């Protein structure tokens, strides 16, 4: 990692540390400020938002959980993102297996179609997809968010997974075939387990992308009782925007689960979210 391994420490190093630490503070401080203020009554936030709470109160959280469907919204969000993640993992591994192990006519076409769909921003497909959901009576149902999100993540996931599957040597699969295993046994017992690292990558970006997305939720979920967390939060801000304590608590509520997962899995997450990019 270290580029300058063999150079002597210079006084410049101190400056480097100072700059880096300053930027770290700039990155983390906004979150600390919000969490801190979520334990204060709104009046105190307005007066002294930088001080520690004079008397920590859970009032804002009680407010958030009683007035708003926070728990339910979590439920919807986790259901949606969970199903999207599993769906993307299943379809992407099937697709990549087909694309890396078989020779067939039109293979190159399929590959370039998948790459081309990376250039489709969600804006370019959402209106027809919305029409389908209206026609299929799926509006305000989780499925209306899940289906387009699986499709939206699939091309990127497939590209990451084909890259990985190509690097798995084929000999083991041939050996298994000699022993009498079927193609599906080979796929489930040998290839999928070997693909665990790239499956983790795919799972992480699918989940985070889906959990954090507001656009699709906003269009598909029209019933306020069925809002997932992002849509709910947006609604809170337009309804209770002046209640600073409640706002701070709401932001904390949406950030905390992601933060906990990030602290535990940070290495995997950073790899997962940048994997496709570095490979180009």
Of 211-250, binders to other proteins (CB under 8 A) are 211-215, 218-219, 230, 233-234, 237-238, 241, 244, 247-248, 250
Of 49-78, binders to other proteins (CB under 8 A) are 49-50
Least distance from C-beta 83 to other proteins, angstroms?
A: 13
Question: Tokens 């497909």, residue?
Answer: 125
Give the separation between CA 122 and CA 155, rounded to whole angstroms.
13
Which residues are CB-contacts of 49 (< 8 A; sequence separation ≥ 6)? 33, 36, 37, 40
Single out the segment in contact with other proteins by CB under 8 A; choices: 41-49, 58-66, 78-86, 194-202.
41-49
> Is 184 one of the binding residues for other proteins (CB under 8 A)?
yes
Residue from 108, 123, 179, 223 in contact with other proteins (CB under 8 A): 123
Single out the segment in contact with other proteins by CB under 8 A; choices: 53-61, 64-72, 192-200, 209-217.
209-217
Q: Would you say the C-alpha torsion 260, 261, 262, 264 has a positive or negative sign?
A: positive
- The answer to whether the CB of 209 falls within 8 A of the CB of 83 is no
Give the separation between CA 82 and CA 69, rounded to whole angstroms.
19
Q: Which two tokens stand for residue 273?
A: 């979210």
Of 127-166, binders to other proteins (CB under 8 A) are 127-132, 134-135, 147-148, 150-152, 154-155, 158
CA atoms within 13 A on the CB side of 51: 11
Least distance from C-beta 65 to other proteins, angstroms?
A: 17
Residue from 59, 168, 203, 273 in contact with other proteins (CB under 8 A): 273
> Is 194 one of the binding residues for other proteins (CB under 8 A)?
no
- The answer to whether the CB of 226 falls within 8 A of the CB of 140 is yes
Residue 65 or 130: the one with the smaller Cβ distance to other proteins is 130
**Rg over CA atoms, the chain:** 24
Single out the segment in contact with other proteins by CB under 8 A; choices: 32-40, 56-64, 68-76, 194-202.
32-40
Least distance from C-beta 246 to other proteins, angstroms?
A: 11
- Secondary structure element (H or E) that encloses residue 74, with its range: helix 70-101
């Amino acid at each position: 990692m270290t580029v300058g391994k063999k150079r002597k420490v210079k006084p410049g190093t101190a400056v480097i540390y100072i700059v880096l630490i300053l930027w770290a503070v700039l990155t983390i401080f906004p979150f600390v400020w919000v969490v801190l203020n979520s334990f204060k009554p709104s009046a105190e936030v307005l007066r002294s938002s930088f001080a520690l709470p004079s008397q920590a109160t859970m009032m804002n959280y009680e407010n958030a959980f009683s007035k708003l469907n926070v728990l339910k919204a979590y439920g919807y969000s986790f259901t949606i993102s969970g199903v999207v993640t599993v769906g993307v993992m299943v379809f992407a591994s099937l697709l990549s297996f087909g694309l890396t192990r078989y020779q067939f006519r039109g293979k190159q076409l399929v590959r370039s179609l998948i790459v081309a769909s990376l250039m489709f921003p969600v804006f370019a497909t959402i209106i027809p997809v919305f029409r389908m959901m209206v026609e299929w009576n799926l509006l305000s149902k989780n499925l209306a968010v899940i289906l387009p999100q699986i499709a939206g993540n699939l091309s990127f996931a497939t590209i990451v997974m084909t890259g990985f599957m190509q690097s798995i040597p084929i000999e083991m699969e041939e050996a298994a075939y000699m022993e009498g295993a079927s193609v599906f046994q080979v796929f489930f017992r040998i290839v999928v387990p070997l693909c665990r690292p790239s499956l983790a990558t795919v799972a992480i970006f699918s989940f985070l992308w889906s959990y954090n997305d507001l656009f699709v939720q906003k269009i598909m979920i029209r019933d306020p009782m069925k809002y997932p967390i992002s849509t709910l939060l947006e609604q809170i801000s337009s309804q209770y925007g002046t209640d600073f304590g409640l706002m701070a608590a709401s932001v904390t509520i949406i950030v905390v689960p992601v933060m906990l997962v990030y602290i535990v899995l940070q290495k995997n997450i950073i790899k997962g979210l940048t994997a496709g990019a570095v490979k180009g």
